[in-house]
Amino acid sequence: MLHFAIDHDYSICINGDGVDFMQLSLQAMTGDLTPSLALFARVVRRGRRIYYTVGNHDIQLEHFLSDIGPMNVAPFLNLRSGEKRIRIEHGHTYDEMFLKYPRLYWLFTMIGRWSIIIHPRFYKFVHDLNHDIIAGVEYLQSGFKPRSERMKSVTGEFIEGERQCFREGAEMAGIRGFDAVVFGHTHLEGSIGLSSGVRYYNTGSWFGAPYCVAIDQGEIWFGPVSDLTTKGDPFPRKRPEQAAALG
């Protein structure tokens, strides 16, 4: 994705949990980040920017709000592109489990830390199990109503498997004057229209098949990163203009 951004003159926003202080060893992170840092520098040399919106696994980056090397670190990004206003944030602040049960959430995070030492596939298994446990808690809290029953009262579109708190969070952020809201955090990718007319995107997770949004002059493309790298730039028209601007 970084190579794609460099080749096609995109700025980049890493929407939280891009590095995992909670679950990875410093050694593993250094190994992964070192090649990326050289690419970040190339993005910046081309006159583009790198934004990093803080997530719950890299919350320590809040100490560096403003800049880390070439990165602009921020709790969220309010982007204006063409006529559109787009809100980008990780989304964990809308996570009911994270807010209501911080110690339980921390415990699950630590279980994740141990499971990733065993194997990434085991981590995936634990993550899915985690999802099921949260669904179980919701089931108990709702007074033993199955999800299908609970979802009957939900009107409009929703991202498959996603808890209501995120759609509500996107709605809440969106009505403050945005055309689109982009979250991550849930590991469930999708794009839906909210009742307020705001478009909500979730770019899923970096595991398996990562998704992203590409934004150019108020237009938003949403899809798998692999589509960008194999099918090319969804906004190729911007290239000659910017190439000229870059001289």
Q: Which residues, listed in sequence order, are joined to residue 169 by a DSSP beta bridge?
A: none
Contact in structure between 214 and 221 (CB atoms under 8 Å): yes
Of 55, 169, 174, 190, which lies in the binding site for Mn ion, with binding defined by CB under 5 A?
Answer: 55
Q: How far is the CB of 207 from Mn ion (least distance, A)?
A: 12
* Residue 172: CB atoms within 10 Å: 15
The stretch near Mn ion (CB under 5 A) out of 72-80, 143-151, 183-191, 236-244 is 183-191
Q: Is 82 strand, coil or helix?
A: coil
The stretch near Mn ion (CB under 5 A) out of 15-23, 40-48, 158-166, 195-203 is 15-23
Q: Interface with Mn ion includes 185 (CB under 5 A)?
A: yes
Query: Which CA distances in Å does 28 have to 15, 21, 24, 116, 210?
Result: 20, 10, 6, 11, 20
Nearer to Mn ion, 48 or 92 (CB): 92
Q: Would you give the binding string for Mn ion spanning residues 186-225, x where CB under 5 A is met? A: ----------------------------------------
Contact in structure between 49 and 72 (CB atoms under 8 Å): yes
The stretch near Mn ion (CB under 5 A) out of 135-143, 147-155, 160-168, 184-192 is 184-192
Nearer to Mn ion, 8 or 92 (CB): 92
Torsion sign over Cα 96, 102, 104, 110: positive
Q: How far is the CB of 89 from Mn ion (least distance, A)?
A: 11
Q: Which residue has the tokens 């001289």?
A: 247
For residue 203, which of 214, 194, 212 has the smallest C-alpha distance?
Answer: 212
The stretch near Mn ion (CB under 5 A) out of 6-14, 17-25, 112-120, 141-149 is 17-25
- Strand positions, DSSP E, the chain: 12-15, 50-53, 66-68, 71-74, 77-81, 84-88, 180-183, 189-193, 199-203, 211-216, 219-224
Of 9, 14, 17, 187, which lies in the binding site for Mn ion, with binding defined by CB under 5 A?
Answer: 17
The stretch near Mn ion (CB under 5 A) out of 47-55, 140-148, 167-175, 196-204 is 47-55
Nearest residue relative to Mn ion (C-beta): 185
Nearer to Mn ion, 6 or 29 (CB): 29
Nearer to Mn ion, 8 or 90 (CB): 90
Q: How far is the CB of 114 from Mn ion (least distance, A)?
A: 18
Q: Which residues of 31-48 are buried (b: 16+ CB within 10 A; e: fewer)?
A: eeeeeeeebbeebeebeb
Burial class (CB in 10 A: 0-12, 13-18, 19+), 83: exposed
Nearer to Mn ion, 206 or 221 (CB): 206
Binding site for Mn ion (CB under 5 A): 17, 55-56, 92, 185
